Amino acid sequence: MKLRHAFALGVALTAFSSPVFAQDSDAPAAADGGSKKDALGLDEIVVTASARPANRLETSVSVSALDNEAVAEAAPRTTAEIFRQIPGIRSESTGGDGNANIAVRGLPVASGGAKFLQLQEDGMPVMQFGDIAFGNADIFLRADQTVKSIQAVRGGSASTLASNAPGGVINFISKDGSKEGGTIMATVGLDYKDYRLDFDYGAKIGENTRFNIGGFWREGEGPRRAGYNGNSGYQIKANITQEFDGGYVRLYAKHLDDKAIGYLPMPMLVTGSNSDPKYSSFTNFDILQDTPHSALFTSATGLDGNNNRRVTDIRDGMHPVVTSLGLEAQFEVADGVKLEERFRWNSVKGRFVSPFPAEVGNASAIGNSVGELLTGNAGSYNLVYANGPQAGQAFNNANGLLMRTHLFNVEINDFGSFTNDIKLSKDFGSATLTAGFYKARQNIDMDWTWDSFLMEVKGNNAALVNVVDPVSGKVLTQGGLYAYGVPAWGNCCQRSYNVSYDINAPYAALNAELGALSLDGSVRWDNVSARGNYAGTLQVSNYEVNGNGTIDPTERSVSLIDNGNPSPVNYNVNYVSWSIGANYKLNDNAAVFARASRGGRANADRLLFGVVQPDGSVRKEDAIDYVNQYELGVKYRSGGFGLFATGFFARTEEQNFEATTQKFFNRTYKAKGIELEAAYRSGIFDLRAGATWTDATIAKDAITPANEGHTPRRQAKLVYQFTPAIDLDQVRFGLNVVGTTKSYAQDDNLLVFPGYTQVNAFVNFRPMENVELSINANNLFNVVGITEAEEGSITPGVNNYVRARSINGRTVSASLRFDF
């Protein structure tokens, strides 16, 4: 096994050079917030996907907890990079601040997003479905100084104490003012343009009343050379808590308005063989520093969802605009009877705009194909620059390559939702019975209006390219645009969605303590009602788009959305999930547990355009995917050492659709493995570590049987992370190592992604009380680490042009923090 190594020196306080978390000046000295005798934090109370709070040692679920210090020292560049610190989680976080692919315990990522994993804020889902096309849940979630801790439950009770989350739940728990004080932190990129300001403050405003408020502002280009500020926006969060005898009421508000550049696969050169490939940069395009985004490609004229002329600002990138209001209350309504109520209303809209390289190849060949498309005549066509310093001059890029670029242009009209979760618990001696009702609605209303362009393969402000008729000298394209639509993909992708999904889910749980033995069981019945409509592409001739009064070659065949002939969505499905577990406490420092569960996951928008029947119905076997899981684990601590080990087996059904390949999936997967989490502290030294070994296979493939027995794409056998650190009072420094063994680009198991190890390091200097200075340099040696690719194989012995995505290259930043 060959591993490629990256080394980074700096602090671990940045998200795109910005502080996602900083260390709490009053945080416990031990790793993960534990004491010296509880380095792994096994005494921490679990509130995520739990019917009754219990500490990690006494619960029968596999759960991890990350406090401020653990997250800060992981040097997260994005929210999704935090998840790489959680055993059992595989997070492909190279897409920018959002649009990450997140898998758990070998459960598949057949298309994108986090299908079987739910992201939550304070116990409420960010999105009801984690894999909405161009609406991955992490797009609408930002980590900042308002987050107190992160809890992650894998498998187990997530099947029954959350909807559509059989793989697990990751919950961001907010500060609530219990600890008085505040933080102000400023971060600047030293070798790239990025600026960020974070703040947080909490305090009491009465004997029984407290509040917390915080957020961030940022502005910058991002870690790759886009030529413009790709990250720009802010978030503000606040809550206020009133305590009463026997309970409390908390009100919550959040507003997020943040543009984040979205990195899609990029042009890349691959030589060697499928089993031993060499990934490298092109002349003029660095796969670690560059991106197809360009200051010369910031706007595009096309059509909106109503087929009206519109100019799109490509700099919007991934632009969530989220307003959330929430209520959380807990009361003891009678002796031994507790009522809990949680409500969250979300207004969600925005954009997803990013260039996608549909093809990378010889400039003349691609230009000639476009010329033939626009004239109907095969032949040799000329290429000239459409803009930039060489506008009007003959194309002469040093690498001789063009990108056939599809502009993924998605308007998020309404991804709003509401969620209400109410439950009543009654103690019966050593047993507790919980009954609850979960009610939610998720709107999915968006328009896809994709167009096609020609761009040179060049980093640091690539130009658009025009095609010219060599006989008449007429420019056939318009500023690099050659089609209103995506003819290279059969004009598939002018689409409109407007569907609401209502979820009603009663559930019950029983917990019992029989001395050292704890037993629990839970069951949930989910009913999902889908109502709405969707419309696809209508191809029309001679349709004027640009408003110049003439029909240009690009307007002779135009893709519209067929709004006059929408297809209905009208179906109801239901499913039952269950989970049973047992935990036996051997002594105060050791326990073993076992669990079996079956959880369902309702499919949503991925069923449209192919699976929904003409009358709007859906077969139940297509609408619901089931995950069967079995777990066996042990927890142990001694002195400054802690260990949490879980063996697992999962069988997963999968129905899905991928936008970039236009492929449907109908599969069954099997995965077995072990996840390890450990911590150690002795004197000035401490260590946190985690690893997950997974043996996953495609057990059945109804559409492509040849894939059966193969490893699911991008699934490595081993992923790991560890963070050793030295604390010398005024200075704390250490490493955060994240790595993976090799994996396959696609399910046919031909092209290999080599394993790689990325080493980040942190140095925090405290020159005086309440002041901390940090420096960060990430991926110092510019090592390539491939996380995804569109191609599944290459031709040995020649130069192959593929579209893939690597970890980012070197960036250096500095942060200054003040606590008060």
pLDDT at position 36 is 59
pTM of the model: 0.93
Please state the rounded mean pLDDT for residues 303-314: 97
Number of H helices, E strands in the chain: 5, 47
Q: Which two tokens stand for residue 757?
A: 């190890």
Q: What is the C-alpha R_g of the chain?
A: 26
The residue type found at 581 is G
By C-alpha distance, which of 142, 258, 255, 144 is closest to 200?
A: 144
pLDDT at position 25 is 39
- Length of the chain equals 820
pLDDT at position 196 is 96
Pairing of strands 755-768, 3-7: parallel
CA 531 – CA 569 distance, rounded (Å): 5
CA 32 – CA 723 distance, rounded (Å): 11
Q: Which two tokens stand for residue 580?
A: 């049973």
Is residue 602 scored above 80 in pLDDT?
A: yes
CA 740 – CA 645 distance, rounded (Å): 19
- When pLDDT is cut at 50, 70 and 90, the band that residue 755 belongs to is very high
625, 655 in Cβ contact below 8 A? yes
> Residue 335: which residues within 8 A CB-CB, separation 6 or more?
none
Please state the rounded mean pLDDT for residues 239-259: 97
Per-residue CA distances from 457 to 235, 280, 284, 399, 453 (Å): 35, 14, 7, 8, 12
- When pLDDT is cut at 50, 70 and 90, the band that residue 219 belongs to is very high
pLDDT at position 112 is 79
Please state the rounded mean pLDDT for residues 565-594: 96
pLDDT at position 660 is 59
For the stretch 426-483, pLDDT in tens is 999 999 999 999 999 999 999 999 999 999 999 999 999 999 999 999 999 999 999 9
Average confidence score pLDDT of the chain? 92
> What distance, in Å, lies between the first and last C-alpha atoms of the chain?
50
pLDDT at position 16 is 34
Is residue 35 scored above 60 in pLDDT?
A: no
- When pLDDT is cut at 50, 70 and 90, the band that residue 2 belongs to is very low
Please state the rounded mean pLDDT for residues 93-114: 87
Is residue 3 scored above 60 in pLDDT?
A: no
CA 20 – CA 69 distance, rounded (Å): 11
Pairing of strands 62-67, 743-744: unpaired
Is residue 363 scored above 80 in pLDDT?
A: yes
100, 383 in Cβ contact below 8 A? no
SS3 for 605? helix
CA 795 – CA 801 distance, rounded (Å): 10
pLDDT at position 449 is 98
Indicate the burial class of 48 (C-beta count within 10 angstroms; 0-12, 13-18, 19 or more).
Answer: buried
List the single range of 67-71, 299-303, 325-329, 589-593 with lowest mean pLDDT.
67-71
pLDDT above 70 covers a percentage of the chain that reads 95
Indicate the burial class of 95 (C-beta count within 10 angstroms; 0-12, 13-18, 19 or more).
Answer: buried
For the stretch 603-618, pLDDT in tens is 999 999 989 999 999 9
Is residue 423 scored above 50 in pLDDT?
A: yes
- When pLDDT is cut at 50, 70 and 90, the band that residue 654 belongs to is confident
Please state the rounded mean pLDDT for residues 246-253: 96
SS3 for 132? coil
For the stretch 44-77, pLDDT in tens is 888 887 777 788 888 999 989 888 777 777 767 7
Q: Which two tokens stand for residue 581?
A: 């577990």
CA 663 – CA 711 distance, rounded (Å): 18
pLDDT at position 27 is 38
- When pLDDT is cut at 50, 70 and 90, the band that residue 32 belongs to is very low
pLDDT at position 653 is 87
576, 523 in Cβ contact below 8 A? yes
Residue 160: its H or E element: helix 158-161
Q: Which two tokens stand for residue 348?
A: 């969600």
Cα angle 116, 117, 123; round to 5: 140
Per-residue CA distances from 272 to 283, 308, 584, 800 (Å): 18, 48, 53, 9
pLDDT at position 106 is 85
> Residue 405: which residues within 8 A CB-CB, separation 6 or more?
292, 355, 356, 357, 358, 452, 453, 454, 455
Please state the rounded mean pLDDT for residues 566-585: 97
Is residue 6 scored above 60 in pLDDT?
A: no
130, 164 in Cβ contact below 8 A? yes
- When pLDDT is cut at 50, 70 and 90, the band that residue 113 belongs to is confident
pLDDT at position 8 is 36
- When pLDDT is cut at 50, 70 and 90, the band that residue 9 belongs to is very low
CA 517 – CA 455 distance, rounded (Å): 65
Q: Which two tokens stand for residue 63?
A: 């759960």
230, 261 in Cβ contact below 8 A? yes
Is residue 386 scored above 50 in pLDDT?
A: yes
Please state the rounded mean pLDDT for residues 353-378: 97
- When pLDDT is cut at 50, 70 and 90, the band that residue 754 belongs to is very high
- When pLDDT is cut at 50, 70 and 90, the band that residue 659 belongs to is low
Is residue 795 scored above 60 in pLDDT?
A: yes
Residue 622: its H or E element: helix 620-623
Residue carrying structure tokens 């889908």:
530
Sign of CA dihedral 539, 542, 543, 545: positive
SS3 for 417? strand
Backbone torsions φ then ψ of 198, nearest 5 degrees:
-115, 150
